[in-house]
Chain A
Amino acid sequence: MNTITKDQSPTLIIEDLTVAYRYGDLLLDAVRDFSLQIAAGQTYGLVGESGSGKTTVAMAVMRYLGDTGVVRAGKIEFDGRDLLSLNTSEMRQVWGAEMSLVPQNPLSSLNPSIRVGEQLSEILRHHQGLDRETARVKTLELFRMVQLPDPQWVADSYPHQISGGMRQRVLIAMALSTTPCLLILDEPTTSLDVTTQASILDRMSELIIDLQSSILYVTHNLGVVAQICDRVAVLYAGELVEDAALEDLFRMPLHPYTQGLLDSVPHLGETKDEVQLGAIPGQIPALGARPEGCVFEPRCPLAIQICSQRPPIISTNNGRKVRCHRWEEIASGSISAREIPREFKKEGTEITLDQYENEHGDTILDLRDVEVHFPLRRSIREVIITEPARKVKAVDGISLSLQRAQTLGLVGESGSGKTTLGRAIVGLVERTNGDIDLFGISLPPALSRRDFKTLHQLQMVFQNPEQALNPYLSIGASMRRPLMRLAKKSRREADKEVANLLKAVQLPPDYAFRMPNQISGGEKQRVAIARAFATNPGLLVADEPVSSLDVSVQASILNLLNELQIEHETTMLFISHNLAVVGYLADVIAVIYLGKLMEVSRSQDLFKPPYHPYTEALLSAVPIPDPSIQQGRIRLKGDVPSPVNTPSGCPFHTRCPHFLGDICVSKKPVWQMDANGNRIYCHIPVEELGAKQKNMIKQE
């Protein structure tokens, strides 16, 4: 394969590609005039929000557009051949052998009824003409290459028997099996937890160096791009807006959209007191509703008269490309879409956790040893021998307290029990043990036993805005109900209040008459937040309110939550898997693993040692959208253990990088306190932890 990569001609050349989708008798352009060149051995990032057309480009290159997709114009040249002129049987020689794809959803991409090893060796037999036995040996070798534990067992398993991270490794092994000269990765780690993502990305960057393949990496995650790519193309509404080398793009973005995109994601360690997130107003235009001028013009803070004409793609110095009329002014620094220059304020408000808790006095919510266990169904044998039902320990003894107007960030990976804890507090699941006090009064576990006064004080914002509003009720009707039901307002008063609430979440009052399908996802989440704030609750539980939104929308929702919380002095439990987001919004952060708390820290202290070994691993796994930041590298082995058989002693001992020995297995750790009053659940003394650990985020 190295012979191919030695010559200088690019592996893939895309020129003026225009792809349209058919809607009835309409043809709507999803991608317009897109050009790109990937050199041999280069890793090219293709970044954009949902609806930007990035997957369409990838699929067009693969010739996988389906029945509705049409390439209207342009040229795709792969390895010297015109791809668009090949027929299906010729494409079949290219697919798999010379060009392969790692898709986004690993479960639906594997055949559920064929063993994993067989699925891979089939490719080898077909493309390389290997016999059954050699193919099998090669399969195991490939599985070892992607660092699958116990390759023999994985090869003999069916897809549902292995974890998500393992499935994705299998797919990567498949894609690499024929050492293709072009590898297309379509959001390969998006559905995975950060710690799994980190170890897959590590392995992938090693393999990239080894194999010398060209890579087209499609993702929405700027952090991942910063970690893995050499060069980045930014797509917006189907158009290439900027194309630059990785460092150049992050150091000095030339397009206002790129600037906005970089400003809208919180970086690890930034807090709301220090940095204001730059939200891009509006939303990405729908297919078929794209402006005729510059596609970004309606949302661009720098738009002027000329922007109503479509800007050409302009090549600037050192091979950069940008599609903006005003790029020269931006490059010279005379104008910028960035409102506030981003910088770390090193010394913030340095008060310790105890001081913070004392200062805020009023305890709003107090959890003591809260447990939520879900019994599993017993088998007939277990019923006969009267064995007690096994339990999923979703939340396993959590004690916490929240003070007035405080934001507590609850962070953990999937399956950690963070959502269950939130739902147990509002009463959507019943806790099986422990006490929850709200304003010093004990809350009954069951929602039906809680009175209106309690419900009034407890509201929740849900993860998925698409499901948060009844599709058959108008926005106004949805928002009116809590006011009439809990605040006992008349219809007229409630309607007046709805208008005020809409104004508070920056939506026009006529939205009250709209139906949910007439507004965007970000707007739905605003309405859901407005509904939650309608009764002016004492405690708001926000369960991943921004995780299903695009980054440019995410920032405005975070800013909104922050403003409303300050204004209403609401206490908030903010649940998220995203450490950067939690770190940004929360005053205090609680890290949860397998239903147990690992660490409770002031948010600015969480990012400095000493930290719990699990926090340390999380921090090193989060991809930071800034290539100039050096990140520590700690990778966890294996997967999260099953919550049915939680490990004895410290629940983290099976994966802990600082594992001490027997004591971690046999004895439960005690809560320790560091100099700043932050609490860590670990056997290792805090001083020793602090000495062992380095700062995970270092700016060069």
Chain B
Amino acid sequence: MTWYRNAGTRLLLNSRVSISSEPLSSNKQSSKEPQREPISPYSQAANRTNRIISLFRGLYAKPSSAIGTTIFLIFLTVALFGPLIAPYGVNEQIAADARQPPSLQHWFGTDNLGRDVFTRVVIGARDILALAGLGTLLAVVCGTAFGLLSGYMGAWFDEGLMRLFDSLLAMPALLLSLLLLGILGPSRSSVLIVIVIVYTPIVARVVRSVVLSVKTRGFVEASRLQGESIPYILFREILPSTLPALTVESALRFSYAIFLVASLGFLGVGVQPPNPDWGLMVKEARVHVFQIPWAMYFPAGAIALVVIGVNLMSDGIKRVWQKSG
């Protein structure tokens, strides 16, 4: 409930206060002296860190987003420190231990080739989070640029670009990816390109809609009257206003990108064996599902958990941003 209290203290600023609520006698003590927010030249930078801190506070204020954020942070740690955590080599085959159920030696068991499933899931997290993360980041950058330009310029430029994006959006994401991978050939960089192409139009549309509402506001018009250049107006005046919507959209795109990478792996057109890709692991273990089900359940569970975690987190971000306006 911390962020509620923040909203409360903001209301209490500036003056002597009379509060009529019973449980808050503590506020009355400080109410005699006029309070003012500390103002310094650094307040802008301070603002920014404050905003990140308050975002996390907000996320941990509700159980659903707290769980989501925790899940995401755990997977992020696992991805970052993967090699330190993993007990075995990724492709290390211990023939004697093949097809072992989960045990103390092999937490998630071993697959039919005697590889440790836990190790492969841990190392696989690096791959999938990096691919999905980098892909989303590039898509967000491209989408923001296109969305800003398209929304601000309007007229034929907007019309042309949006029709192109519409035609990309008309195709189901997976079908479009398969088509593109068919052309590019399966590899990590191809998957990256696919994510960028599939998600850029969506991000661009979100940014464009914000730009359309912001560009008629007084501050944008005032900067036009000051003779500001288009890049200045786009990036200094308009871009900050798109950030709340953009953050929420990026988090959502990220969860879908994880899903997409896993799906492509499963279909065998994404990351190639023997890399420990989660989707690929599910595909390989699918054949032996009745003999060694753990080899399939653990990577599949990891996919589900990350996607759910990121989704819950993005819901939380949305809630927090909307609360703070």
Taking beta carbons and an 8 Å cutoff, which residues of A are in contact with B? 18, 20, 23-29, 72, 285-292, 298, 426-428, 447, 452, 455, 458-460, 462-465, 467-474, 478, 481-482, 485-486, 510, 513-515, 517-518, 528, 531-532
B225-A469 in contact (CB<8A): no
B15-A298 in contact (CB<8A): yes
Interface check B12, CB cutoff 8 A: yes
Near A by CB (< 8 A), chain B positions 196-247 give 217-219, 221-228, 236-237, 240-241
Further pairs besides A469-B218, A478-B219, A518-B37: 5, Cβ < 8 Å = A24-B7, A289-B13, A289-B15, A291-B18, A513-B40
B221-A462 in contact (CB<8A): yes
Some 6 contacts from A to B, beta carbons below 8 A apart, are A23-B7, A72-B20, A286-B14, A460-B222, A468-B219, A528-B218
B20-A472 in contact (CB<8A): no
Chain A residues lying within 8 Å of B227, measured Cβ to Cβ, are 452, 455, 485-486
Chain A residues lying within 8 Å of B43, measured Cβ to Cβ, are 474, 513-515
Docked CA distance A528–B7 (Å): 27
A288-B19 in contact (CB<8A): yes
A514-B228 in contact (CB<8A): no
Q: What is the CB-to-nearest-CB distance from B177 to chain A, in angstroms, rounded to a whole number?
A: 36
A485-B226 in contact (CB<8A): yes
Chain B residues lying within 8 Å of A518, measured Cβ to Cβ, are 37
Q: What is the CB-to-nearest-CB distance from A30 to chain B, in angstroms, rounded to a whole number?
A: 10
Interface check B274, CB cutoff 8 A: no
Q: What is the CB-to-nearest-CB distance from A474 to chain B, in angstroms, rounded to a whole number?
A: 6
Contact partner of A467 (CB less than 8 A), chosen from B5, B18, B217, is B217
Contact partner of B226 (CB less than 8 A), chosen from A18, A465, A481, is A481
Docked CA distance A428–B23 (Å): 53
A289-B12 in contact (CB<8A): yes
Docked CA distance A309–B13 (Å): 21
A20-B20 in contact (CB<8A): yes
Near A by CB (< 8 A), chain B positions 109-144 give none
9 cross-chain pairs, A with B, having the tightest CB-CB distances, nearest first = A24-B4, A472-B240, A462-B218, A468-B218, A27-B21, A467-B217, A288-B11, A470-B219, A289-B15
Chain B residues lying within 8 Å of A472, measured Cβ to Cβ, are 240-241
Nearest residue in B to A470 (C-beta to C-beta)?
B219
Docked CA distance A471–B40 (Å): 17
Interface check B41, CB cutoff 8 A: yes
Contact partner of B11 (CB less than 8 A), chosen from A286, A465, A515, is A286
Nearest residue in B to A23 (C-beta to C-beta)?
B8
B5-A455 in contact (CB<8A): no
Chain A residues lying within 8 Å of B228, measured Cβ to Cβ, are 481, 485
Interface check B62, CB cutoff 8 A: no
Chain B residues lying within 8 Å of A513, measured Cβ to Cβ, are 39-41, 43
Most B Cβ at <10 Å: residue of A24, A470, A486, A515: A470
Docked CA distance A532–B218 (Å): 12
Q: What is the CB-to-nearest-CB distance from A353 to chain B, in angstroms, rounded to a whole number?
A: 30
Nearest residue in B to A310 (C-beta to C-beta)?
B18
Chain B residues lying within 8 Å of A289, measured Cβ to Cβ, are 11-17
Interface check B24, CB cutoff 8 A: yes
Interface check B167, CB cutoff 8 A: no
Near A by CB (< 8 A), chain B positions 278-312 give none
Contact partner of A25 (CB less than 8 A), chosen from B14, B16, B24, B221, is B24
Interface check B44, CB cutoff 8 A: yes
Interface check B1, CB cutoff 8 A: yes
Contact partner of B24 (CB less than 8 A), chosen from A18, A26, A462, A471, is A26
Interface check B322, CB cutoff 8 A: no
Tally of contacts, chain A with chain B, CB under 8 A: 132
Contact partner of A481 (CB less than 8 A), chosen from B15, B39, B218, B223, is B223
Interface check B25, CB cutoff 8 A: no
A428-B224 in contact (CB<8A): yes
Interface check B47, CB cutoff 8 A: yes
Nearest residue in A to B229 (C-beta to C-beta)?
A485
Near A by CB (< 8 A), chain B positions 90-123 give none
Chain A residues lying within 8 Å of B222, measured Cβ to Cβ, are 460, 462, 468, 528, 531-532
Nearest residue in A to B325 (C-beta to C-beta)?
A517
Docked CA distance A499–B12 (Å): 28
Q: What is the CB-to-nearest-CB distance from B191 to chain A, in angstroms, rounded to a whole number?
A: 35
Docked CA distance A428–B226 (Å): 12
Docked CA distance A463–B221 (Å): 12
Chain B residues lying within 8 Å of A428, measured Cβ to Cβ, are 221, 224-225
B1-A24 in contact (CB<8A): yes
B20-A27 in contact (CB<8A): yes
Docked CA distance A291–B31 (Å): 10
Chain B residues lying within 8 Å of A517, measured Cβ to Cβ, are 325
Docked CA distance A470–B16 (Å): 30
Chain A residues lying within 8 Å of B11, measured Cβ to Cβ, are 23, 26, 28, 286-289
Nearest residue in B to A426 (C-beta to C-beta)?
B225
Chain A residues lying within 8 Å of B219, measured Cβ to Cβ, are 467-470, 478
B16-A292 in contact (CB<8A): yes
A460-B39 in contact (CB<8A): no
B12-A288 in contact (CB<8A): yes
Q: What is the CB-to-nearest-CB distance from A484 to chain B, in angstroms, rounded to a whole number?
A: 9
Near A by CB (< 8 A), chain B positions 1-56 give 1, 4-5, 7-8, 11-21, 23-24, 37, 39-41, 43-44, 47
Nearest residue in B to A428 (C-beta to C-beta)?
B221
Docked CA distance A24–B23 (Å): 12
Q: What is the CB-to-nearest-CB distance from A489 to chain B, in angstroms, rounded to a whole number?
A: 13
Nearest residue in A to B219 (C-beta to C-beta)?
A470
Docked CA distance A512–B308 (Å): 44
Chain B residues lying within 8 Å of A474, measured Cβ to Cβ, are 43-44
Nearest residue in B to A24 (C-beta to C-beta)?
B4
Docked CA distance A29–B24 (Å): 14
Q: What is the CB-to-nearest-CB distance from A309 to chain B, in angstroms, rounded to a whole number?
A: 13
Docked CA distance A468–B47 (Å): 21
Most A Cβ at <10 Å: residue of B12, B15, B20: B20
Q: What is the CB-to-nearest-CB distance from A288 to chain B, in angstroms, rounded to a whole number?
A: 4
Q: What is the CB-to-nearest-CB distance from A544 to chain B, in angstroms, rounded to a whole number?
A: 11
Nearest residue in B to A514 (C-beta to C-beta)?
B39
Docked CA distance A106–B101 (Å): 69
If A470-B240, A513-B40, A528-B218 touch, does A26 touch B21 (CB 8 Å cutoff)? yes
Docked CA distance A427–B11 (Å): 40
B225-A455 in contact (CB<8A): yes
B8-A460 in contact (CB<8A): no
A23-B17 in contact (CB<8A): no
If A288-B17, A472-B240, A514-B39 touch, does A447 touch B24 (CB 8 Å cutoff)? no
Nearest residue in B to A295 (C-beta to C-beta)?
B18
Chain B residues lying within 8 Å of A478, measured Cβ to Cβ, are 219
Nearest residue in B to A451 (C-beta to C-beta)?
B227
Nearest residue in B to A516 (C-beta to C-beta)?
B219
Chain B residues lying within 8 Å of A28, measured Cβ to Cβ, are 11, 19-21
Docked CA distance A426–B222 (Å): 10
Chain A residues lying within 8 Å of B23, measured Cβ to Cβ, are 25
